[in-house]
Amino acid sequence: MDPLGTAPRATLADYVVGVIRDQIATGKLRPGAHLRETELAVALDVSRGPIREAFAVLEAEGQVEIRRHRGAFVSVLTQQDVDEVHSLRAAIEALAAERAATRLTSEHFAEMDRILHAMKAASGSIEPQEAVRLDLAFHDVIYDAADHARLRRVWTSIRSQVAFFLHTRNANFPDFPIVGHAEHQELRTVLGAGDPARARTAVEEHMAGSYARLSQLELPSTEDE
């Protein structure tokens, strides 16, 4: 494994979690890949303790599978995963949009516009990981504006899985330069109108498009298949 950088000395387990999450989300660690403790410890310049702690966190998130006597593996994306994460995200995003529609500030809109500008500037081609970064950054603004701490915690708990799904979607359907800016610009316009019901509908339609693309992939129903 190529060196991944030198770890800061504080919160080593959190550091390792962040690195592995990023490697999974960007496709550098592929589904089913064996995560070897010793190799990761050397690459990240940490002991094996933080590696094991990170595996436990990532297993709880559903991104890593711990197999008895075999070690840790990157989870394989299944249709069940897509269905469950999509249905949960659709529910919380609808609530976030409803609340954000009447709470967005000028600072929130300025941040949305900055992200939209970056999306538009990427017309032609964009790496899947950059598309994911911009996509999630836009939705982070909505959750921030929703002003609901528990809702934000639920989003944080599935955000890395959503990143993984979006990377898979963008790698297989490289149409983000065409639809990414347009769809998020439409969301911004609807949110700017301040109508919670319209905001909910717009987000539901946005979520449905992403789900439809992922559902076109030939994924196993469950990881046992």
The per-residue pLDDT for range 123-149, each reduced to its tens digit, is 667 888 788 899 999 999 999 999 999
pLDDT digits (tens, 9 = 90+) for 188-211: 999 999 999 999 999 999 999 888
pTM: 0.77
Contact status, residue 94 vs residue 141, Cβ threshold 8 Å: no
Percent residues over pLDDT 90 in the chain:
54
85 and 168 in a single domain? The answer is yes
**Do residue 57 and residue 84 come from a single domain?**
no
Gap between the Cα atoms of 50 and 126, Å rounded: 34
- Flag whether pLDDT at 88 surpasses 80: yes
CATH code, domain with 117: 1.20.120.530
In angstroms, rounded to a whole number, what is the distance separating the alpha carbons of residues 185 and 171? 22
Residues 61 and 29 in one domain: yes
Dihedral sign of CA atoms 99, 101, 104, 110 in order: positive
pLDDT-derived band of residue 5, with 50, 70 and 90 as boundaries?
A: low
Instruction: Answer yes or no: do 146 and 164 share one domain.
Output: yes
- Domain hosting 41: range is 12-74
- Residue 50 phi/psi, 5-degree rounding, is -60, -30
Per-residue pLDDT at 170 exceeds 90: no
Would 100 be classed as within a structural domain? Answer: yes
pLDDT of residue 10: 44
User: Are 62 and 159 in a shared domain?
Assistant: no
pLDDT (0 to 100) of residue 127: 81
151 & 134 share domain: yes
Query: In this structure, what token pair is assigned to residue 8?
Result: 């800061």
40 plus 84 within the same structural domain? no
pLDDT level of residue 23 (50, 70, 90 thresholds): confident
Q: Are 112 and 198 in the same domain?
A: yes
State percent of the chain over pLDDT 70: 93
Mean pLDDT of the chain: 88
pLDDT at 175: 81
- Please indicate, yes or no, whether residues 40 and 133 belong to a single structural domain of this protein: no
| pLDDT tens-digit series, residues 45-61 | 999 999 999 999 888 77
Is residue 223, in this structure, part of any structural domain at all? no
pLDDT band at 30 (very low <50, low <70, confident <90, very high): confident
Residue 161 backbone phi and psi in degrees, to 5: -70, -40
